[in-house]
Copies of this chain bind each other. A is one copy, B any other.
Amino acid sequence: MELLVVGSVAYDTYKTPFGSVKGAMGGAAVHAALAASRLTRGVAVAGVVGRDYRQADLDLLACQGIDVSGVAHAAGRTFRWTGKYAGDMAQAQTLKTELGVFAAFNPVLPKALASPKFLFLANIHPAVQASVLRQAGKPSFTLLDTMNYWIASQKPALLKVIRGVDGLIINDQEIRQLTGAGTLAAAAQKVLALGPKVLILKRGEHGASLHTRRGSFQVPAYPVDKVLDPTGAGDSFAGGFIGHLAHVKATDERRLREAMLYGTAMASFNVEDFSVRRVLKTARPAIESRVRGLKAMITL
């Protein structure tokens, strides 16, 4: 197995200024795995669902070539998030979080998933991320996501798991909260001093930047005609990023920079429709077209 994605598998109910969904496929692991599946074979998901999770939705993932043998079934309800977006949709407003079976999520990786070459630890409790990291052998590249809630409430555990991964993916508010640094450049240096060799800073509509000991690299957001739904954009970015690395089986500076373009492209598809709709319909030629477009936006 090339790439293991660990995180939430959820049903989302929310509205944006452009529409709404009820009980739609969501969760960080689903968004990331789907984005990665457009770029590479051998993607697997580890997560947990309740009795209410529709078999058809698991089949849909499997149909994309995603190994869902790591999705545990537990008694109870699937993680459900209810929220809304207003104005420029930069920030989701959470109306209700029903953790359900996700509250006790503590994955035991099936043997077939225990030695991934690439590992994405989506946003979950840092102790759970650490547990997966211990089970996952020696991936050639591990990427970790987190959020403000864990930075505030679980900082020591979070810092510990951050020390053990190759890459951290985080947004501009979160990195300020994590490091206390005044500028993003200073914050990036602080993260690289913590342990990871790779930092990806998500800046929403301002794009994203990659920071390594070799320097930094900045990619603009891909200019889509209409942002309908930003839910999962960050996870699609992460999935596209690590999906590209898994596809080319390399993590050198050049490939990391390329992967930023693929992450950006996958995030741009994500936001063009609700839930996973647009990413599901995305094929390689459309992705390559956006990657070329992004290259043109950073070429003198």
Within 8 A of B (CB), among A226-252: 226-227
B258 touches A227 (CB 8 A): no
Complexed CA–CA distance, A54 and B156 (Å): 56
A182 B227 Cβ-Cβ under 8 A: yes
B223 and A183 form a contact (CB under 8 A): yes
Among A186, A220, A296: residue with most chain B CB under 10 A? A220
Count, chain A residues at interface, CB 8 A: 37
Q: Are B295 and A217 in contact (CB under 8 A)?
A: no
Known contacts A206-B203, A207-B206, A209-B220; decide if A183 and B298 are in contact (CB<8 Å).
no
A279 to B188, CA, bound (A): 26
A215 closest partner in B (C-beta): B296
Please, what's the 1-or-0 string for A206-229, where 1 marks a CB less than 8 Å from any CB in chain B? Answer: 110100000111111101111100
CA A300 to CA B258, docked complex, whole Å: 7
Q: Is A61 an interface residue (CB 8 A)?
A: no
Would B227 and A297 count as touching, CB distance under 8 A?
no
In the bound assembly, the distance between CA atoms of A203 and B218 in angstroms comes to 13
Interface residues of A (CB under 8 A from B): 17, 88-89, 176, 182-186, 188, 203, 205-207, 209, 215-221, 223-227, 254, 257-258, 261, 295-300
- A and B contact pairs by CB, cutoff 8 A, 22 listed: A17-B182, A183-B223, A185-B205, A185-B223, A185-B224, A185-B225, A188-B223, A203-B206, A206-B206, A215-B296, A215-B297, A216-B297, A217-B297, A217-B298, A217-B299, A218-B220, A218-B297, A218-B298, A257-B300, A258-B300, A261-B300, A298-B298
